[in-house]
Structure 1
């Protein structure tokens, strides 16, 4: 098994600092509590002028069990009684949002995340889809992108048939690792047969694309054990793979306190797992999109990257460019017009705002001109693995090399280490630099805190 590029573990360890994932720029720590409901309503109204398609994200926070690695906003409960009041609050939020929006705009993208969306019963899923259709008018277009995250322990073949009837055409299955010892250590015991049965049924039903989520850096993982998981996953032939770097931050995420630090793979072993992952997936024909995403060359993500239309948002990489993102539910984040707006992360505060007749906006930010320039630069770097400064100059009416002179100067050290190539008016990440793309993006971040280690995970 040959490496797809020259590997330098020493260099990777040196640059393995803490930094943002750049699902947004400015990043969430820059959001202000001075930004509230009125500012969000104004942005919703302004967005109608451009008439961009809509992307709806719905956060469904309920889980029957808590996975020890989890850093998501969730509610652990075995009671299905919590769903009805939550869906009722979601409907109130949708009503308040839809009053500000031209609902003739196409809903080109829909994503249900969590938590565990399949915690909902089939009837509850139908009810929520019906309410969304009533408020926004869901699309039946062939090229729509309607995805849902699935826990194979909370779904079966009947679930998939029902989801297809509701209009979903993409699935994302949480797997994390197939090694039983690792599964027990993170409180997610999930027999391989559950995942395989769903993949087979999804293929039979003709779902457009299927993604599997894996995590490296979990307790008891080794390069050999993870290679065994990857071998089984490759045989399942998913169109996409998301292979996340586990960030152990028990001081911020309570469930992670159940994981013993001494059981985690060493930094050296973790790098070896990453190296094995890239080599095996490249050999199997997957394209490394960037960061933790891999896709078949025929998948829409890979096609969008080749065509320069790939985007990045809070759900990862997206092939649907130029959508306004409306986030619904506790902790959900919207990206509308020139603002980011986040809902309350506490379920009580979220419900309280809606019960009082208000949008549950807790904080946000309106982008300055400088923010928009840097947002564009960072997104293109993260999506294309290169940045065309001439295109940036033309888009914003600036002399980009002069405007971003300090950022380009910061990249010179990385150029000497062969992580980036500065070629005329282009900034190009080398194969090794792609693994450190977050570090390259940090050069353009004018809002980066002095001590990012307190807020962000490690890069590799």
Structure 2
């Protein structure tokens, strides 16, 4: 029996493979409405909990080159001069946001994503972090979880040293695949040596955790070729590894039309690659966190998983709970109390709002009591793998079996298939259900019948 056996049931994976949300939020962004505006956000900020920690997310959308698989909000350009006006507007947005909050509240989480955050020059990165410290209370390193997404093609050892000096203590490295043929097909040429140099620099400079992102389902991948990439990653031994399934949605993401669909691995090959991923990572001593995340036993994410304190936010699995999240930059999403709010996606719209002296929020949603109840249920399943009816009943003042009679009936086939243990007082995700936890959680999503599932990636 392989290490993948408890989690990997090909018959069930094939049967349950469908489109569905990743539940980095509930309701998902599909439910955001443009009726939500800056005034709604300011009201939420006024009502925010004074004792909650803050989390900051900065979106830097620029990339030097475009990767054909990417579905992120990005702007491909080689003109580095675009960074300066964008940086100036983010600094103005920081001031606008800071005016809404008690800025003595500690910022315990901070993340720069993109795009490619290191598109900014060294001086510009230092300037942005300095402005952040001017407006917000960034905590000391031992309490901080400050991370940045790094493209190894863009980051020299000097860049990594600077990032640590600025206060970042976690790196997320995009790799996707080390196979040269695959790299050419997706327009991302990145030899292993580039990644290894960045990882070595991170260790020399005392980064607490380094995460590597891989993608399976890309053109020309096979079980054998991806196994070689896995062997290389295991040899490099990053603290965390995320292995995402490629979502080919060329109708939504025009750049994906550059990918030769005939070169994509078949569903059977995708499943075989996934099985190899689970087996190799577990055999190498990584803890399977769930879905597509792995972590070394000593990593904070693995410890949170074992302790039952794992959380989920727009960056995926997280170790911090109950933070109000402030989004900075085009397309950034924030969460303040019972609202989600998103900035304008298009750079021109973001620019116009900030230049007019206003927040750039153009859509969002305020959660009703039912949303908050279902968010709690979904996040308990996604993060803890267990839901006790009495816990939810006490938190929300409901009788769980009565409130969710329809959902419990729909879960019965999953219990019969061995995905969950469904008892009179709880739901527990079994090993075979860990890879299908999105499917399990989606039973409690009251919006799925109102939105096209095709807008979401496949669950496998």
- The normalised TM-score by structure 2 is 0.98
Provide the C-alpha distance between the structure 1 equivalents of 2:316 and 2:32, rounded to a whole number of angstroms. 19
Provide the C-alpha distance between the structure 1 equivalents of 2:137 and 2:418, rounded to a whole number of angstroms. 50
SS of residue paired to 2:67: coil
Match of 1:85 in 2: 85
Taking a change above 3 Å as real, the CA distance of residues 350 and 449 of structure 1, as seen in their structure-2 partners, is farther
Which residues of structure 1 form unaligned runs of 5+?
A: none
Match of 2:366 in 1: 366
Match of 1:455 in 2: 455
- 4+ residue runs over 6 A deviation: none
For residues 262-305 of structure 1, what are the alpha-carbon distances to aligned partners after superposition, in whole Å with 9 as ceiling and x for unaligned? 10000000000000000000011111111111101111111112
SS of residue paired to 2:392: helix
Match of 1:291 in 2: 291
Provide the C-alpha distance between the structure 2 equivalents of 1:3 and 1:281, rounded to a whole number of angstroms. 9
SS of residue paired to 2:14: helix
Provide the C-alpha distance between the structure 2 equivalents of 1:456 and 1:42, rounded to a whole number of angstroms. 31
For residues 162-204 of structure 1, what are the alpha-carbon distances to aligned partners after superposition, in whole Å with 9 as ceiling and x for unaligned? 0011000000111000001100000000011010111112112
Match of 1:314 in 2: 314
For residues 202-256 of structure 1, what are the alpha-carbon distances to aligned partners after superposition, in whole Å with 9 as ceiling and x for unaligned? 1122210000010010000011111110001001011100111100000000110
SS of residue paired to 1:271: helix
SS of residue paired to 1:265: coil
Provide the C-alpha distance between the structure 1 equivalents of 2:270 and 2:156, rounded to a whole number of angstroms. 33
Match of 1:431 in 2: 431
Match of 1:349 in 2: 349
In the TM superposition, what is the alpha-carbon distance from 1:10 to its structure 2 partner? 2.4
**RMSD after superposition:** 1.1
Higher mean C-alpha displacement, 132-141 vs 323-332 = 132-141
In the TM superposition, what is the alpha-carbon distance from 1:50 to its structure 2 partner? 3.6
Higher mean C-alpha displacement, 449-458 vs 14-23 = 449-458
For residues 100-128 of structure 1, what are the alpha-carbon distances to aligned partners after superposition, in whole Å with 9 as ceiling and x for unaligned? 10000000000000000011111010000
In the TM superposition, what is the alpha-carbon distance from 1:9 to its structure 2 partner? 1.6
In the TM superposition, what is the alpha-carbon distance from 1:8 to its structure 2 partner? 2.8
Match of 2:16 in 1: 15
Higher mean C-alpha displacement, 5-14 vs 38-47 = 5-14
In the TM superposition, what is the alpha-carbon distance from 1:137 to its structure 2 partner? 2.7
SS of residue paired to 2:326: strand
Provide the C-alpha distance between the structure 1 equivalents of 2:449 and 2:31, rounded to a whole number of angstroms. 9
Provide the C-alpha distance between the structure 2 equivalents of 1:414 and 1:346, rounded to a whole number of angstroms. 41
SS of residue paired to 1:288: strand
Which residues of structure 2 form unaligned runs of 5+?
A: none
SS of residue paired to 2:379: helix
The reply on whether 1:188 has 2:185 as its aligned counterpart is no
Provide the C-alpha distance between the structure 1 equivalents of 2:295 and 2:143, rounded to a whole number of angstroms. 18
Match of 2:392 in 1: 392
In the TM superposition, what is the alpha-carbon distance from 1:143 to its structure 2 partner? 2.0
Match of 2:139 in 1: 139
The reply on whether 1:206 has 2:206 as its aligned counterpart is yes
Match of 2:96 in 1: 96
The reply on whether 1:28 has 2:16 as its aligned counterpart is no
Indicate if the aligned counterparts of 1:18 and 1:452 stay in contact, CA closer than 8 A: no
Indicate if the aligned counterparts of 1:341 and 1:363 stay in contact, CA closer than 8 A: yes
The reply on whether 1:252 has 2:237 as its aligned counterpart is no
Match of 1:159 in 2: 159
SS of residue paired to 2:43: helix
In the TM superposition, what is the alpha-carbon distance from 1:451 to its structure 2 partner? 5.6
Match of 2:45 in 1: 44
Provide the C-alpha distance between the structure 2 equivalents of 1:161 and 1:327, rounded to a whole number of angstroms. 26
Indicate if the aligned counterparts of 1:290 and 1:385 stay in contact, CA closer than 8 A: no
Indicate if the aligned counterparts of 1:5 and 1:431 stay in contact, CA closer than 8 A: no
Match of 1:240 in 2: 240
Match of 1:415 in 2: 415
Provide the C-alpha distance between the structure 1 equivalents of 2:46 and 2:295, rounded to a whole number of angstroms. 36
Higher mean C-alpha displacement, 399-408 vs 192-201 = 399-408
Higher mean C-alpha displacement, 8-17 vs 203-212 = 8-17
Higher mean C-alpha displacement, 180-189 vs 412-421 = 412-421
Provide the C-alpha distance between the structure 1 equivalents of 2:328 and 2:200, rounded to a whole number of angstroms. 31
- The normalised TM-score by structure 1 is 0.98
1:107-146 to 2 correspondences below 5 Å: 107-146=107-146
SS of residue paired to 1:19: coil
Indicate if the aligned counterparts of 2:141 and 2:169 stay in contact, CA closer than 8 A: no
Question: Number of residues paired by the alignment?
Answer: 459
In the TM superposition, what is the alpha-carbon distance from 1:401 to its structure 2 partner? 2.2
In the TM superposition, what is the alpha-carbon distance from 1:306 to its structure 2 partner? 1.7
Provide the C-alpha distance between the structure 1 equivalents of 2:56 and 2:66, rounded to a whole number of angstroms. 26
Provide the C-alpha distance between the structure 1 equivalents of 2:113 and 2:4, rounded to a whole number of angstroms. 33
